[in-house]
Structure 1
């Protein structure tokens, strides 16, 4: 699931070189590219929200990094950003280390497709990096705006996906 979705997003990112003036057109193109390969079992509200979060991130990053763009970095960061949003949506600010790690590792449950051992390891490595940062973010979240929280999640995804190899 992860590798297939990342390759689809990478293709979208590369093919979006001339940025459409209309961001909505880019978002719709991204959603179409992703959902074209989905299975009927993945037709759930959570999976749709996950795809929307990912495409919003992709469109924003492509727009903001027009001249200096590393498509692989944008793709990985946006993918893991969407997974973190999915993992943390049902956690509260008093979450323990163990709960955070479980939620992070369960990120793959957004898809009904079976994950490979390679994908499970990739997510576990990501979670090792993300867990302490997420706990710190959660502790500060009460005094943050929604925008600051969203930027915090993105920053964690950006930092922790940097060393993830996609092959």
Structure 2
């Protein structure tokens, strides 16, 4: 059994295409009529390794089902869950804003604007950008001395803070 585990690892590292080939080959050897197997000269191979061919067939199916479920999970459910979890934690952070952060975000909500020119020298601006409340929308600043750049409030923050303006008080 211990020598079987490295072989299974090698199988997994093969990828999908060779496993599909093995599935097709093993299913042909299992399900083709014996006369056809005799005609192609694989009768001895089919009889001698019948158990092994069956194991290859079953493992190939199991591998492809697991691979498909993993792909579905990663693409659809995994992305959806990551977005939901991320949004949950971002909303939780909205409840722990400092007074300076509240004042800055209040400018977006009270002025009913989704973008403002803000200074990159301001630590509050950089903190809100890092925490994904705002995003810099351009690389050309409006004022070289103050290093003002256009920033936009993230859509989730706009929606959440407009629904819960008490968070900014």
Q: TM-score range by the shorter chain?
A: under 0.3
TM-score relative to the length of structure 2: 0.24
Higher helix share: 1
Higher strand share: 2
Larger radius of gyration: 2
